[in-house]
Amino acid sequence: MQTRKEILTDELVGYLLEHGLSDLSLRPLADALGTSARLLIYHFESKEGLLTEVLDSLQTRLRQSFGNLVERREGRSTERPLKLFWDWAIADENYPYFKLLYELQILAVQNPAVYGPYLQRNASNWSELIGTALPEAERTPAMVTLLGAVFDGLFLELMSTGDRRRTTQAIQQFIRLVDEARGKRPVAQKKTTKASNTRGG
């Protein structure tokens, strides 16, 4: 059975998914949820504490969802982990959660004195999640960091432009470059045309 704080956190996530973060203040937020600012302070201590709980809740939901996806497809899919992660993240049912997570993440980065512990925990959790999706031979700190950074950059580009086709093509291009560098897929040799074979002859 959920505690009152857990119920409020779920309601907060729903509210922020619908209304975003602009001009967020406790009293209007409490009114929208049918509660009081005093009760929100009691459970979350501050607006920053409230947003930290929302961040943790979003991250937990997404990690569980992706973990379940990996388990269901383990041994049955040849799709590269980064592409699998990308397609899952931009799916209609997941994209709003990721968008809110990144908006909150940007807010946290702007105030590291308050959100520092969350930022460290978030980086560690996502690195762990990326690592579980990678084959063991590729599960190096450098590769995990690289994949996370590429995903972050392209997801922010998607948030800015709304261009899913172009950002998805960019993910696919990055995967091809990595595979070629690792020798998984040899770089295609340029074909010699008939004209070049007979040139000057």
* Phi-psi map region of 25: left, alpha, beta (phi>0 left; psi -120 to 50 alpha): beta
**pLDDT for residue 43 is more than 90:** yes
**CB within 8 Å of 110: residues ≥ 6 apart:** none
Span 30-54, average pLDDT: 91
Quick: pLDDT tens for 14-24: 999 988 887 78
pTM for the model: 0.77
User: How far is residue 127 CA from its own chain's centroid?
Assistant: 11
Show the beta-strand stretches assigned E in 8-128: none
**pLDDT for residue 195 is more than 70:** no
* pLDDT, position 73: 72
Return d(Cα 184, Cα 99) in angstroms, integer: 33
Q: Could you tell me the pLDDT band of residue 201, with boundaries at 50, 70 and 90?
A: very low
SS3 percent helix, strand, coil of the chain, rounded to 5, is 75, 0, 25
Quick: pLDDT tens for 55-114: 888 888 888 888 788 777 766 656 787 888 899 999 999 999 999 888 888 888 888 887
- Amino acid symbol at 18: E
Give the CA-trace dihedral at 22, 26, 30, 36, to 10 degrees.
Answer: -170
**CB within 8 Å of 61: residues ≥ 6 apart:** 97
Ranges of each domain in the chain: 4-186
Return d(Cα 141, Cα 128) in angstroms, integer: 10
**pLDDT for residue 133 is more than 90:** no
* pLDDT, position 76: 62
Q: Could you tell me the pLDDT band of residue 194, with boundaries at 50, 70 and 90?
A: very low
* pLDDT, position 165: 96
**pLDDT for residue 198 is more than 80:** no
**4-186 domain in CATH 1.10.357.10?**
yes
Q: Could you tell me the pLDDT band of residue 126, with boundaries at 50, 70 and 90?
A: confident
Quick: pLDDT tens for 147-174: 889 999 999 999 999 999 999 999 999 9
